[in-house]
Amino acid sequence: MKKILKIVGIVLGILIVFLVAAPFLFEGKIIKIVKSTVNKNINADFDFTDADVSLITSFPNASVIVENLSIINKVPFEGDTLVYAKNANISLPFMQIFNKEGEPYSVNSFSIDGAVVNIYVDENGKANYDIAKETTNEAPAETPEKTDAKSSSNVSLNMQKYEITNSKIKYYDEQGKMYFELTDFNHFGKGDLSATKSELDTETSGLLSFEMDSVNYFSKNPIQLDALLGIDLAENKYTFLENKAIINQLELVFDGFVKVNENNQEVDITFKTPSSDFKNFLAVIPEEYSKNIQNVQTTGDFMVAGKVNGTIDDAHIPKFDVVIQSNNASFKYPDLPQAVNNITIDTKIANETGLMENTYVDINKLTFKIAQDVFSAQAHIKNITDNPLVNANLKGRINLANLSNAYPFSLDTPLKGILDANLSTAFDMNSIEKEQYQNTKNSGTLALKGFEYSSEEMKNPVQIANAEVTFNTSNVSLNAFEAKTGQTDLSAKGSIQNLLGYMFNKETLKGNFTLNSNTFAVNDFMMEETEAAPKDKEENKEKPASTAGAKEEELKIPSFLDATIAAKASTVIYDNLQLKNVSGTLIVRDETVMLKDLTSSLFGGNVAVNGSVSTKTETPTFNMDLGIKSFDISQSFQGMDMLQAITPIAQALKGKLNSNLSLKGNLNSDFTPNLMSVSGNALAEALVSGFDPEKGKMLSALSNNLDFLNFKEGETKDVKTSLTFDNGKVNVKPFHIKYKDIDIEVAGSHGFDKSIDYNATFNVPAKYFGKDVNNLLAKLNDPDAKNITVPVKANIGGTYSSPSISTDVDKTASALTQKLIAMQKDKLINQGSDKIKDAISGLIGGGTAKDSTAATGSKTADSAKARKQEQVKNAANDLIKGLFGNKKKDTTNQK
């Protein structure tokens, strides 16, 4: 006995050692075999990043755990990921780890976690999941209850259980215009799948989304399916034995079978609600909207029943007939004051031929009543997949306030208003897509009164006093629209040409409107978003005071709108501007507003605008031509940052401005111009009646540097100039301005960053250069001297707030003084020459003149000659003293 126990102990020890060591001995072989076997049987690349083999955890089976498993398509879907899984666990019989390559393997169980399956069918009907390689040998038919028969591949499924967790399945059929997605997918199954006939017990849950032909039927609706399936592998038939499905909160039971044939599938399934309680209707609605329906009071019934039977192949779908009915039902939520009564539903969704295009929907009757308001609808849709034909009628009145009193809507503020509808429409989608709206038939009216709505996406509540719309075949007429929001009031009329094309085919909405307003505040339509705080104080300093830490306002021109609007407004408020008597045409198209012949009274004058504003690019842009007439200079330059930037000195001028401006550039998020991006040109005329140096430090600085300037004594002058601006810089061509009798020529440039670089030449009359110069002018006693002017040059730099002035006034004054002295000398020399000439002439004349008294003696003649010589001497002396100094009084001969 001891010997036997010893042998058993040795065997167990060897077995334990083997179980521990085997994974290390055979792991490489198994991994190689798994990759090789799978890749040999599929037309795709199968791979994984890491693998582990264990014999202990699943003994007597071997467990292969792989991470980051992937199946990548080859042509024609090369590079597309068909399957990805975070990890997968496959269990196979222990002894098969000794199999040679090519020998069969059987899978007993598997589990997958974090899988993503992407199934795609292109427009030609080719599917990316069709990756199995064709086999040349057919497997022999087998009929025993149990079979270990090999399939054409080297892997057989003898599974007892399987599990898929935290996964996603996506299916897109481009040819059939169908999209299916199942997220948060968890599926569990157990049963002996190695038997020809067996039962598989499954549990499934997930969130279902389904869209077909651009119509959304489910959007992340919760589903649950508990199904016991009878499996017949010999006939490839799967029968629903005990089954229950839950969609949202609606419970369905069903039975039937699906049989997979070589070229098609046979389907025969029936389903229905297990009860007829009207709560079933509320259960169809997603719980997010219907809330808790357990305590809802209901009367009447609601039933969903249907059947699906027929063949599925390349040309056919199963026939089906789904009926949804309710009679004289009602419901009332316990916390709400109103009930919804007189509910009648009679709807049928069916296909009687098995051809997709023959599917139709009949809403024969849909009515309900809230308080005293009754609403009814009918609709018939057929030929759904080919060219849907729609015929619908809506009629009734709804007090919008009663909706939230009867149903738990999630609204920040309750709705208000009365909606009256009486509409009929009949159209086919081909006509809509081809814009053949003459083939549509629309009639009826829609009216809304006393409507009020507000939300976080709107700056102010919208109040619609009255809106009336008439529908007809060619267009939709807006007969009346009276609304108010914030300071803004609106009154509009017009027409829309293709409302159906916009609603069903995402076409551009076209229209023509007239719009009138007493007050239109642009800021009422701008939403504010808090800008992120700057990282530090230094960063904040770099930002302009108007934007640092401020709020951003965003406005986007709709891309779907193509409208012409003839607008008039008594007052338009834009930022800090108030425009009066505004009129013009706005053309909205392609995310752009074009302004045509827009005129307004502004700043005591008038402005005419033609141009455009666009939000088509990420940064909004503008391109404008402005005609300005008789603007009050002071008002306009205080009210418009753009004018301040273009001509900063003008804010210190008094008078009127006429100008033609062409400019373009980018807009900030609040639709104010980004000055550093603006470029253009301007031709300006200013009628200056005075100056206010206190508003212009540059004028004050000039006054301090030039004594002859006193801008408080300005006179009306006409100033004309032209300028260009680009890259944040304004270049001013030379222009002239008169200040009293001083002609000033100015030229240069300044930047939108408030830098200055100007040159000014003052042609200054001599009389402005002080007492000394005026004394010289008086000595000259020459009328022409009063017209003498000299140029004084001034260089102006620095910034608007801190200008720097340099002039050559001292040098010019000194030069003027020298010039006047020279003129006086020339005059004196000329005067002295005349005296000398007279003296010499007299002297010469005295020597040649005849003596009138013959009796005069020689003594008398000598005395006359001496007097003449003294006169010439005195005249010359006076001239020299006059040129080089003042005469000194002769005191020696005074007595």
Residues 6+ apart with CB under 8 A from 321: 306, 307, 348, 349, 350, 351, 352
Cβ atoms of residues 799 and 754 within 8 Å: yes
Residue 226 β-bridge partners: 203, 244
User: Nearest Cα to 735, choosing from 690, 688, 799?
Assistant: 688
Q: Can you tell me the mean pLDDT for 621-635?
A: 79
More confident of the two residues 296 and 270 = 270
Report the amino acid identity of residue 222. P
Question: Amino acid letter at 427?
Answer: F
CB count in 10 Å sphere of residue 628: 23
Q: What is the pLDDT of residue 422?
A: 93
Least confident of 248-262, 706-720, 782-796: 706-720
CB-based contact 248:287 (threshold 8 Å) = yes
Q: What is the dihedral of CA 431, 434, 435, 437, to 10 degrees?
A: -20
Cis before 60 (ω within 30): yes
pLDDT of residue 11: 43
Q: What is the pLDDT of residues 854-871, one digit of tens each?
A: 444 455 555 555 554 454
Least confident of 19-33, 175-189, 358-372, 761-775: 19-33
Say yes or no to pLDDT of 63 above 80: no
Q: What is the pLDDT of residues 464-503, one digit of tens each?
A: 899 998 988 777 888 998 989 888 898 989 888 777 677 7
pLDDT band at 269 (very low <50, low <70, confident <90, very high): very high
Q: Are 796 and 698 in contact (CB under 8 A)?
A: yes
Q: Cis before residue 286, ω within 30 degrees of 0?
A: no
Q: What is the pLDDT at residue 654?
A: 66
How many Cα neighbours within 13 Å face the side chain of 804?
4
Select the more confidently predicted residue: 850 or 258: 258
State the pairing for strand pair 105-113/155-173. parallel
Pairwise pLDDT comparison (449 vs 634), residue with the higher score? 449
Q: H or E stretch including 760? A: strand 756-765
pLDDT band at 168 (very low <50, low <70, confident <90, very high): very high
Q: Which residues contact 220 (CB under 8 A, 6 or more apart)?
A: 183, 207, 208, 209
In the predicted model, what is the mean pLDDT of residues 412-430?
85
pLDDT at residue 135, rounded to an integer: 57
CA distances from 276 to 218, 303, 305, 554, 849 (A): 23, 5, 10, 52, 159
Q: How far apart are CA 757 and CA 799, in angstroms?
A: 9
DSSP 746: E
Task: Reply yes or no on whether the pLDDT at 873 is more than 70.
Answer: no
Domain-wise residue ranges, the chain? 1-129+155-176, 248-410, 817-846+865-884
In angstroms, the CA 773 to CA 764 distance is 13
Per-residue pLDDT at 333 exceeds 50: yes
At 334, which amino acid appears? Answer: P
- Summary mean pLDDT of the chain: 75
Buried b (16+ CB within 10 A) or exposed e, 704-733: eebebbebeebeebebebebebeebbbebe
Average pLDDT over residues 115-119: 91
CA distance 340 to 643: 62
In the chain, the percentage of residues whose pLDDT exceeds 70 is: 69
The answer to whether residue 804 scores a pLDDT higher than 60 is: yes
Is residue 885's pLDDT more than 50?
A: no
Give the three-state DSSP class for 460.
coil
Please write the tens of the pLDDT for every residue from 721-775. Answer: 777 877 777 787 887 777 777 787 888 787 777 788 888 888 878 777 777 667 7
Higher pLDDT, 278 or 322: 322
Helix 809-848 vs helix 858-884: crossing angle, to nearest 10: 170
Question: Does residue 24 register a pLDDT over 70?
Answer: no
pLDDT at 101 over 80: no
Helices (H) and strands (E) in the chain, counts: 13, 40
Average pLDDT over residues 2-27: 46
Structure tokens given for 563: 């409208």
Structure tokens at 589: 């198209």
Structure tokens at 230: 């009878």
Q: pLDDT above 90 covers what percent of the chain? A: 13
Q: Quick one: which H or E segment has residue 568?
A: strand 561-574
Closest CA to 493 of 481, 502, 485: 481
Residue 635 has pLDDT above 70, yes or no: no
Q: Is residue 592 within a helix (H) or strand (E), and if so which, with residue range? A: strand 592-602
Residues forming beta bridges with residue 631, ordered by sequence position: 657
Provide mean pLDDT across the span 216-236.
85
Asked if residue 202 lies in contact with residue 229, where contact means CB atoms within 8 angstroms, the answer is yes
pTM for the predicted model, two decimal places: 0.56
